[in-house]
Amino acid sequence: MPRKCVKCSRSLLSLTVDPHEEYLSCREVFCSLASRCDCCKALSQDQFLRLLDSIKDRTERRKASSSGKRKSYPSSQQLHKRMCKMEETLGRLSLFLSSSQGSPFSGFQSPAS
């Protein structure tokens, strides 16, 4: 039976790793090696360091996924910008092509007619 946070009922790390009854983000105080709450006071330093490691893992994983989300937004915007620029360039290119194609033709056609 996995333990759940008493506030948000997200599943917690195992009791041997994290003795707290609240999920990391639900805790009001973040315990550190220097200041521990009653829950983790009983842990040995090794156990507490392991806890910090698993917390770091979690937060880093969360950071990575959220930054990935954030990354995709500007890149799609950038892509859109690039597309617009490409269209603009193509538009200018076709204008250039039609005008450069038009002038020799008109040059050809004017003496014939």
Among 7, 63, 70, 71, binds Zn ion (CB under 5 A): 7
Is 12 a binding residue for Zn ion by CB under 5 A? The answer is no
**The tokens of 94 are what?**
């076709």
Site string for Zn ion, 21-60 (x = CB under 5 A): --x--x----x-----x-xx--------------------
**The tokens of 12 are what?**
């917690």
CA distance 12 to 101: 71
Tracing tokens 């859109």 back to the chain, one arrives at: 80
Angle at 21 between CA 14 and CA 32, to 5 degrees: 85
Question: Is 32 or 72 the residue whose CB approaches Zn ion more closely?
Answer: 32
Interface contacts to Zn ion, rule CB under 5 A: 5, 7-8, 23, 26, 31, 37, 39-40
